[in-house]
Amino acid sequence: MEATGGGFRKELVSKLLQMHFTDSKTKVSGDALRLMAELLTIFVVAEAAIRSVRQAQAEDLALVDVDQLEKVLPQLLLDF
Amino acid sequence: MEEDEGTEEQERFSHRQRLKAAVHYTVGCLCEDVASDKEVQFSKQTIAAISELTFRQCEHFAKDLEMFARHAKRSTINTEDVKLLARRSNSLLKYITEKNEELTQFNIEQRAKKKKKLEDDKTKSLAPAEAAASGRDSLALSPGAEAAFGEGRQEQADSPERRMKLSAFILSF
Whole-number pLDDT of residue B116: 92
Residue A16 burial (CB count, 10 A): 23
Cβ neighbours of residue B1 closer than 8 Å, sequence gap 6 or more: none
Q: What is the pLDDT of residues B31-72, one digit of tens each?
A: 888 888 888 888 888 888 888 888 888 888 888 888 898 899
Mark B38-63 as b/e (b = at least 16 C-beta within 10 Å): bebbbeeebbebbbebbbebbeebbe
ipTM of the complex: 0.83
Query: Does the distance separating the beta carbons of A19 and B34 come in below 8 Å?
Result: no
Q: Give contacts of A18 with chain B, Cβ < 8 Å.
A: 62
Whole-number pLDDT of residue B1: 67
Query: Does the distance separating the beta carbons of A38 and B29 come in below 8 Å?
Result: no
Q: In whole angstroms, give the CA distance from residue B99 to residue B62.
A: 20
Query: Does the distance separating the beta carbons of A41 and B57 come in below 8 Å?
Result: no
**Whole-prediction pTM:** 0.66
The answer to whether the beta carbons of residues B38 and A64 sit under 8 Å apart is: no
